[in-house]
């Protein structure tokens, strides 16, 4: 029965790898392509770790530990990549943040690469687990309140469950393989939750609320809050009859002519602020018109900081 469960999990992981590849294509007009590549790498690691440890006979326990441990390390990288997704920083975030992060979290496993310690079990203490906890909260917590809340919560739990076999104070009553089955099950559920959430549609809204919802769900709370603050500031500066909130744009007037005039400035501000994250075509696809205000109109460039 356990073998059947493991086979089903592995097949679902391979299915998730295919969907991750498709997601990479959908994100080509954003600065999240690096995060998408890390996601593909993480799911690939899940497939390798699960397949090798469950279906390859006579594999040393130390090798199994290395595979699963590095899977947990790489799984922390996609959400952290999102935190550096603003252009032009996103071009160097991979080298100055993510690579050092992998080195720091992976150090307990790398110390066992010496010949005298080959294939020894990987064990981590409180400080390393606290580092994992901090990274997990920062990365996966960025999507709390978005349509991907359930998916990222399950993914975070999967990493936690996957780390239990390496903890020096782990419960001995549960075999490491059971923790890994639980961890892999959680990551499969996370993938399914993400797929389902991506297909869910919001109620028909204005293009400004639509693009706001899509940006918040795609880039998470850290960037959406910053963009929201700048939209609110520019709206006050231009004295527009609108209010921006976590739910999107709300009109404060029923006057159609006032709305039309405001929409021109709103479109200009949105395009200016989002240019660091997405291509113009991404904005076009959500119905926000292109505008040219001219040099004398309000310029939101000072909101970039």
| Res. 133: pLDDT tops 90 | yes
Task: Look at residue 51 and tell me whether its pLDDT is greater than 60.
Answer: yes
Phi, psi (rounded to 5 degrees) for 278: -140, 160
Q: What is the 8-class DSSP label of residue 157? A: H
Q: How many CB atoms lie within 10 A of CB 25?
A: 9
Angle at 225 between CA 197 and CA 290, to 5 degrees: 80
Q: Which of 37, 53, 74, 36 is nearest to 158 (CA)?
A: 74
Instruction: For 247-282, write each residue's pLDDT tens digit.
Output: 889 999 888 898 888 999 999 999 999 999 999 999
Q: Is the pTM of this model over 0.95?
A: no
Nearest Cα to Cα of residue 158 among 127, 123, 126, 193:
193
Q: Mean pLDDT across the chain, nearest whole number?
A: 91
Per residue in 84-116, pLDDT tens?
999 999 889 999 999 999 999 999 999 888 766
Q: Are strands 242-245 and 248-251 parallel, antiparallel or unpaired?
A: antiparallel
Torsion of CA 176, 177, 180, 184, to 10 degrees: -170
Q: Is pLDDT above 60 for 289?
A: yes
Q: Averaged over 161-183, what is the pLDDT?
A: 90
């Amino acid at each position: 029965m356990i073998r059947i469960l493991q086979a089903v999990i592995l097949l679902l992981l391979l299915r998730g790898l295919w969907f991750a590849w498709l997601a990479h294509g959908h994100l080509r007009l954003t600065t999240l392509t690096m995060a998408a590549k890390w996601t593909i790498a993480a799911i690939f690691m899940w497939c390798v770790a699960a397949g090798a440890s469950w279906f390859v006979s006579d594999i040393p326990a130390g090798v199994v530990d290395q595979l699963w441990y590095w899977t947990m390390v790489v799984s922390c990288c996609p959400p952290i990549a999102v935190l550096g997704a603003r252009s032009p920083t996103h071009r160097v975030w991979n080298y100055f943040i993510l690579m050092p992060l992998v080195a720091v979290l992976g150090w307990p496993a790398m110390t066992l690469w010496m010949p005298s310690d080959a294939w020894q079990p990987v064990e981590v203490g409180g400080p390393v687990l606290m580092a994992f906890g901090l990274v997990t909260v920062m990365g996966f917590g960025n999507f709390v309140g978005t349509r991907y809340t359930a998916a990222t919560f399950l993914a975070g739990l999967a990493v936690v469950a996957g780390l239990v076999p390496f903890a020096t104070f782990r419960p001995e009553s549960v075999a490491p393989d059971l923790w890994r089955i639980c961890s892999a099950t959680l990551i499969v559920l996370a993938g399914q939750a993400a797929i389902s959430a991506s297909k869910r549609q919001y109620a028909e809204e204005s293009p400004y609320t639509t693009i706001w919802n899509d940006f918040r769900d795609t880039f998470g709370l850290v960037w959406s809050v910053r963009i929201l603050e700048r939209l609110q500031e520019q709206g006050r500066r231009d004295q527009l009859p609108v209010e921006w909130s976590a739910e999107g744009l709300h009109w404060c007037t029923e006057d159609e002519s006032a709305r039309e005039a405001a929409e021109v400035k709103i479109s200009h501000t949105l395009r200016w602020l989002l240019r660091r994250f997405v291509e113009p075509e991404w904005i076009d696809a959500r119905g926000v018109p292109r505008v040219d205000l001219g040099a004398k109109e309000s310029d939101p460039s000072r909101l970039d900081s």
